[in-house]
Structure 1
């Protein structure tokens, strides 16, 4: 059966790219999101993948750029639907939020087809995503430095929690954040429609990170193999799962100097960071309240009093 997504249309054994029209720009011209359809020769499940829901989170675009050329429809059972850039307006200006309505796109799901710019884009992509059997919503920590992780956002009491957790483990970044997310996230909204969804956060800060992109590419192929889109033996290892966090702010203004690297295990009382003057004079030392893993840190060194500095995962196990 031929599968269409926007202007992309592919019969079994074919692939196509095109645009999913979602509105008009300020000069009245139409715009569309870049989309791809890979329709396997054999029947099977449907996977939906999207990237750049937040416009400056580019590693997911890098993953798609590397994955799609490697997908031969002759080798695939099932269908892969891809929206390569979701937050069109923010991507154009390299910003996190949609500048048309100052909205963070990953708080707009399931969207509204007659609403704001972000709500319309969310509605259009949500309609496509919920045609699938599983969803990968590729992100990165654009405003922070962070480890590569996969987020399960539906909450532990959700009926699809185990399915989402399995999908996160199969993706295989090594770390899983298992914590109910804010309203409006795709990984919160899509499980309510019966579609297991995870939110891989591929590294942090702005721009390409080749190592995180490599992990993302491996993760996508892990999913394709495990769920029988591609032939092969899927193997995966136990992941470190975090379900709770302690956040640390700056007790003084100045420059932050970290004493531990991302992913490092820390004990209660270990120094996490110091705050110094521009001349290296120490103003404050902040230590861990509990044992855990340094999971996330601010990107820029300068801080004002009370400003966020880092997060330590404290409720940790293996899955």
Structure 2
């Protein structure tokens, strides 16, 4: 019997339940939706979670579509799932936990006696570190972004190659291989020996079906490659970026982009221009280095100094 919160499944079974993490202001219990898929045969353990940021919903869409496809009789090993991590932010469609104004993916490994976010992080971190592999489903918030996977442990980490392999298996086509901020699950779990990746499934308001399909297919690739199911997983060459150049607006106005997401950018090429409402160009911004047009703001209007776009740099293939 394998349990996560109130979900408990014998070999060959699936069960869903709640992982209790505290109470609301009226004393109502807070339970994160969790699932256990206990394969008929023994094997590795995979942990998957979504909605660490409450407005990043593509990961929830992935789990909604992927979990019903799983047949525990055809699985070797165990799959642990937390369908919604940032419970409070999800309820109000916000990025940060409104109870303590905290970004959840900055407080791992958490504290079971700490703030609201720290308690949730501690509970989900305990689940993640029971696994052999972990996948933390994200998206680029509500901005526009390519589908990519992030390896956040840093290139000198002892689990770096294992994390990089997992990112390649997930196969979004693009990988950001850059050490992440303290408090990310994909930073903290490798310290406990668990290869962990952070797929960033596009960026949208609500959810995007193409990005959800990337995530659903990626999780199936993981199951195939790591022998949870009997099937072959073909590995594709990934385009890897080692960092970002970020660009802000040198003037206020309306942004016109010269590139589409995923296109190759050469140093000195114009990335975007800013016009006034009558179409007169006020400023143009060029690329500082070659790379890939990775992410942009969603709305065209900008004030001076506002974020506009990012270019992935230090590009190679692996």
TM-score, structure 2 as length reference? 0.99
C-alpha displacement of 1:3:
0.1
State the SS of the aligned residue for 1:131. coil
State the SS of the aligned residue for 1:222. helix
Distance of 1:134 and 1:206 partners within structure 2: 29
Partner residue of 1:142? 141
C-alpha displacement of 1:245:
1.9
User: Is 1:200 aligned to 2:199, yes or no?
Assistant: yes
Q: CA RMSD in A?
A: 0.7
Alignment of 1:74-113 (within 5 A): 74-113=73-112
Partner residue of 1:285? 284
Distance of 1:297 and 1:91 partners within structure 2: 23
Distance of 1:28 and 1:59 partners within structure 2: 30
Matched-pair contact (CA < 8 Å) for 2:271–2:286:
yes
State the SS of the aligned residue for 1:204. coil
Q: Larger deviation: 166-175 or 281-290?
A: 281-290
Partner residue of 1:215? 214
Distance of 2:113 and 2:316 partners within structure 1: 44
Q: Larger deviation: 268-277 or 216-225?
A: 268-277
CA deviations over 1:20-68 (Å, ceiling 9, x no partner)? 0110001111110000000000000000000000000000000000000
Partner residue of 1:151? 150
Distance of 1:29 and 1:247 partners within structure 2: 43
Distance of 1:279 and 1:88 partners within structure 2: 44
C-alpha displacement of 1:307:
1.3
CA deviations over 1:109-164 (Å, ceiling 9, x no partner)? 00000000000000000001100000000000114211000000000000000000
State the SS of the aligned residue for 1:168. helix
Distance of 2:105 and 2:298 partners within structure 1: 21
Distance of 2:244 and 2:71 partners within structure 1: 42
State the SS of the aligned residue for 1:79. strand
C-alpha displacement of 1:99:
0.3
Partner residue of 2:228? 229
Partner residue of 1:178? 177
Partner residue of 2:312? 313
State the SS of the aligned residue for 2:37. strand
How many residues get paired?
Answer: 318
Alignment of 1:15-54 (within 5 A): 15-54=14-53
Q: Which runs of 4+ in 1 moved over 6 A?
A: none
CA deviations over 1:188-242 (Å, ceiling 9, x no partner)? 0000000000000000132110000001000000000000001111102100000
Distance of 2:9 and 2:196 partners within structure 1: 24
Distance of 1:290 and 1:182 partners within structure 2: 24
Q: Larger deviation: 96-105 or 143-152?
A: 143-152
C-alpha displacement of 1:244:
2.2
Partner residue of 1:61? 60
C-alpha displacement of 1:318:
0.2
